[in-house]
Amino acid sequence: MARTVNEKQTDALSAILALAEEEKENRGLLYTPLEIAQQPQTWGSTCSICFSRSEEIIRFLNLPFDGKTRTFPRVILVGAGTSDYIGQSVQSVLARQWRCDVAAIPSTDLLTSMDDFIRADRPYLWISFSRSGDSPEAVAVVQSALARFPLVRHILITCNQQSRLAREFENNPRVFLLVLGDEVNDRGLAMTSSFSNMVVAGQSLAHLHSQELYCDILHRIRGAAADFMGRCSDLTAELAEQNFSKVCFLGTGPLKAVARESALKGLELTAGRLHGFWESYLGLRHGPLSAIDARTLVVGFISADQCARSYELDLLAELREKRLPGRIVTVYPFFTDGISISDDVISLNLEHVPDDYRPAIDVIFGQLFGLFASLCHGISPDHPSPNGAISRVVRPIKIYERHSSTWQHT
């Protein structure tokens, strides 16, 4: 029978936040723990920023939201790395609410192969996500699209008012700039509150014409997240101390994007010492299952949808039957007394909330596990790349322009 994780009076994250400022600075804990902890309280502000500009956004788009009057342009969600996973997290809710075709395409793919995805004779709406707004790919891909594809309009979402995205495109009539609060412009290397707040921004856009409905859902998620945070920090701190060499995150639909982001958090916050990978439940059976062994932690984000959940539980039962992973943890949407296929069950206590709205809360598990794994490996969570392999804003790269069938360096 699985262990159900209950709350303690003092949790592991609160203990870090209570440290003296000098100790936090010495251990690289000034930013990342606080940026994880602040998330539930910042989501309401992000939603307010988006809805306060809803009339401007609707006028800019000049698009139907009822799916009846005329064809809605194809929506492309653009970002690199974690910002790409934001797009993957909100793809389904935007498609469902706007009743249109939505695809998440990395800016890194668009920059190298834009003609494979975009046609000059079709209208598009690009929604780009970028924490710093200074990523060379983020800026270059918008520049290229504006120059080459006049039927593409852009909503740029960033957490940095002083970014290149804000400076260079704010006055372009085909661009709408949406800047979130400076408090979610994470100072730590790893994106945490910037990820979840840009997810909330994307969900808010999906509900421009149903704001009351979304505010009610977000209120419930914020309340659940505040409770989940403490229980989750205790469990992830314990798991990090067990020195797994690999962690595999599993998810379905928008929760697959959460699995992907969670795997990245474990990888980058430990400088690669913990190998994080991800898959869908059914996708794991087609090869990646071979990587699961006794030193692997498996974390399954369990769907609220009964049909999807049946597939998920069957896969976890197969892992248990084959005795492959060292430990299985499940994140459930609702309270359960435990299941035999999981060693630990932690619930969100969210009844009747579709998976579309869960990425911002579920990702907290991956963020906290990455934080505590970083500390267990002797890494600074705020600066987890001692050899300088990665940085908060990726280094500038050479940008090339396509001229007919040839490439030229500019």
Return the structure tokens found at 178: 């949406």
At 181-217, the pLDDT tens digits run: 999 999 999 999 999 999 999 999 999 999 999 999 9
pLDDT exceeds 50 at position 405: no
- One DSSP character per residue, 59-99 reads HHH---SSSSSSPPPEEEEEESTHHHHHHHHHHHHHHHHHT
At 46-90, the pLDDT tens digits run: 999 999 999 999 999 886 555 455 578 999 999 999 999 999 999
> Across residues 31-35, what is the average pLDDT?
97
Res. 408 pLDDT band, cuts 50 70 90? very low
| Calpha distance 87→254 (Å, rounded) | 10
pLDDT exceeds 70 at position 349: yes
Give residue 9's pLDDT.
54
At 254-286, the pLDDT tens digits run: 999 999 999 999 999 999 999 999 999 999 999
Q: Which superfamily does 37-209 belong to?
A: Glucose-6-phosphate isomerase like protein; domain 1 (3.40.50.10490)
pLDDT exceeds 50 at position 106: yes
Q: Strands, E, within 232-322: which ranges? A: 246-250, 275-279, 296-301
pLDDT exceeds 50 at position 404: no
The closest of 137, 256, 127 to 201, measured between CA atoms, is 127
252 contacts 308 by C-beta, under 8 angstroms: yes
Compute how many other C-beta atoms are within 10 angstroms of the C-beta atom of residue 314: 12
pTM (global) more than 0.95: no
Give residue 401's pLDDT.
73
At 298-342, the pLDDT tens digits run: 999 999 999 999 999 999 999 999 999 999 999 999 988 667 789
Tell which wins on pLDDT, 398 or 188. 188
Average pLDDT for the chain: 91
pLDDT exceeds 50 at position 409: no
pLDDT exceeds 70 at position 392: no
Strand-pair category, 406-409 with 344-347: unpaired
Give residue 72's pLDDT.
80
Give residue 390's pLDDT.
64
The third-level CATH classification (topology) of the domain covering 3-30+226-376 is Rossmann fold (3.40.50)
pLDDT exceeds 60 at position 351: yes
At 204-260, the pLDDT tens digits run: 999 999 999 999 999 999 999 999 999 999 999 999 999 899 999 999 999 999 999
The closest of 219, 278, 223 to 246, measured between CA atoms, is 278
Give residue 335's pLDDT.
81
pLDDT exceeds 90 at position 388: no
Tell which wins on pLDDT, 191 or 1. 191
Domain ranges of the chain: 3-30+226-376, 37-209
At 117-135, the pLDDT tens digits run: 999 999 999 999 999 888 8
CA max distance for the chain: 65
| Calpha distance 273→267 (Å, rounded) | 7
Handedness of CA 288, 291, 294, 298 (dihedral sign): negative
Crossing angle of helices 359-376 and 211-240, in 10° steps, is 20
Same CATH topology for 3-30+226-376 and 37-209: the answer is yes
44 contacts 27 by C-beta, under 8 angstroms: no
